[in-house]
Structure 1
Amino acid sequence: MGRKLIGIDLDRTTLNDAGEVSERTRQAIQKMQQAGHVVAIITGRPVRLSMDIYQQLGLKSPMINFNGALGEIPNELWDYAYSYQVDREIAFDLIENAADMAIKSVVAESRADVWTNSHIGPTNPNEAFFFPQSTDTYHMLDRLNLKTNINSILIEAQNSTHQAMIQDYVTNRYGADRVTVNTWGADSPVLEIVPAGVAKDTGLQIMQRAFDIKKDDVYAFGDGMNDYEMIDYAAHGVLMKNGQPALKAIANDITSYTNDEDGLAKYLEQII
């Protein structure tokens, strides 16, 4: 059996509905790794919200964060490590024009640091999780503190009706060739600014080259629209049973069980 590259999304894919790793999932991933395959987290989460899971799974592979913008092997030098960034000026621009665009908060984040202009996150706990919770975990987002470019900018608008205005403003001002502005779904007031041309398949392709793995041996598991590119790219793009119906058209397969029923683990057990 050829060496396989297995890209795994975290939320609602590897993690159950409680946001935890089940013992069956941990064991299945460990078996794949012990058999010589590369199992790698590919997530929209920042590093600070992924490291615990990486360690819990006992991974030694690269980890891809910010929906493909950052790739590295934690605490190790890796020849293929990379970091795609967005201009910090965009974050300052958004804060200066926040009132006109009904923006409540802006969060800028890189591998090791996070900056924000507000410690009051969204009321929805699933969204608030991504925003810094306490003052000792972030720096104030201003020119004094933020002196480098960043991997991602999160925006919380007053409500979802202002999304199009914010998207148009950033895209027209900074160019679609430099940045992409993604929304988090129909009812969510959260938007994310990422480097143009970067998605989860960016990390998948870099790892495929780094480990010299055949395209036929590339797997990707996900559930949401931010998994579209990697599911589409992988020879075995696998949608979770609980995944977005819109992804069914591009998926090669669908798990028989949901993320809350160890769907990923059961599928990996079949592969091995």
Structure 2
Amino acid sequence: MSKLVFFDIDGTLLDHDKTLPAKTKEAVRLLRDKGVYTAIATGRAPFMYEDLRKELDIHSFISYNGQYVVFENEVIYVNPLPPDPLERLIGKAQEKGHPLVFMNELTMKANHSDHAYIHDSLASLKFAHPESLPDFYKDNELYQTLLFCPDEQERFYEETFPEFTFIRWHPYSVDILPAGGSKAAGIKKMMEKLHFKMEDVYAFGDGLNDKEMLEEVGTGVAMGNAHPLIKAKADFVTADVAEDGIYLALEKLGLL
């Protein structure tokens, strides 16, 4: 195999209704038939897209924006959140009335039993409000935590907790990662297992958590529905996810 392609999920592989377009599925199959290696790079937890991996026959993936990396069904890298600053952040969030969802490789638990911000944010991914288990973080390594607060209140956390990187993905929700964490860092870890040159690596994305990834790889492709900042960082901008953007880009790039 001489090429490697990473795909984001939401807004990239999955359309605005969280369904997999037929042409996208066909494109991934054609890539594999042509000997192009395919992988997923997402902010989602591994348990959130098992069915998608099975449907696409993809066995290598970067979850939690680079904090949990799997190559051919083998975990090769993990980067959990540092527990001490996380505990301080939890305390501040509780003072401000901002709920959290704690996430490891197997499940997610909330520190609030029923909160509108959690409902609205996770519903956009077609997931329900998680079970409340406020002490879950004490006994489990976490690879990502979701903070639920309006945009104007995010800066407080960014300034107070330099141990973390904060990436907004919803009007009410922010991903919390270890400082410096990114999909690009996860890609580098996977590249250590492969014999590819970075110029032979392609990546497709649409959200703010895709910025470093599109900058790092040889060819970064932004979906037509991508955030304007992501389009500005990309080497190539394709059509909207709902207009077969992946298939069209792969054709134009000579990969199909």
- Given the two structures, how large is their TM-score scaled by the length of structure 2? 0.88
Letter in 1 for 2:249: Y
Which residue in the other structure is 1:102 paired with?
97
Higher mean alpha-carbon deviation, 225-234 vs 262-271, is at 262-271
Which residue in the other structure is 2:168 paired with?
183
Deviation at 1:90, TM superposition (A): 4.3
Which residue in the other structure is 1:205 paired with?
188
Which residue in the other structure is 2:246 paired with?
264
CA distance, structure 1, for counterparts of residue 94 and residue 114 of structure 2: 16
Matches within 5 A, 1:1-272: 3-60=2-59, 62-73=60-71, 76-77=73-74, 81-103=76-98, 105-123=99-117, 127-129=121-123, 133=128, 138=131, 140-142=133-135, 146-157=138-149, 159-169=150-160, 171=161, 176=162, 178-184=163-169, 188-255=171-238, 257-270=239-252, 271-272=255-256
Letter in 1 for 2:242: D
Letter in 2 for 1:57: L
Q: What are the superposed Cα offsets for residues 124-168 of structure 1, whole Å, 9 maximum, x if unpaired?
A: 86622369625xx6461216x7313310111112x3332222332
CA distance, structure 1, for counterparts of residue 101 and residue 14 of structure 2: 25
Over the aligned positions, Cα root-mean-square deviation in angstroms equals 2.4
Residues 114, 88 of structure 1: CA spacing in aligned structure 2 closer, same or farther, 3 A cutoff?
A: farther
Counting matched residue pairs gives: 253
Percent of paired sites with the same residue: 25
Q: What are the superposed Cα offsets for residues 177-211 of structure 1, whole Å, 9 maximum, x if unpaired?
A: x32223336xx132221011210111222223322
CA distance, structure 1, for counterparts of residue 164 and residue 117 of structure 2: 27
Higher mean alpha-carbon deviation, 229-238 vs 198-207, is at 198-207
CA distance, structure 2, for counterparts of residue 21 and residue 126 of structure 1: 22
Structure 1: which 5+ residue stretches go unaligned?
Answer: none
Deviation at 1:53, TM superposition (A): 1.0
Structure 2: which 5+ residue stretches go unaligned?
Answer: none
Letter in 2 for 1:87: P
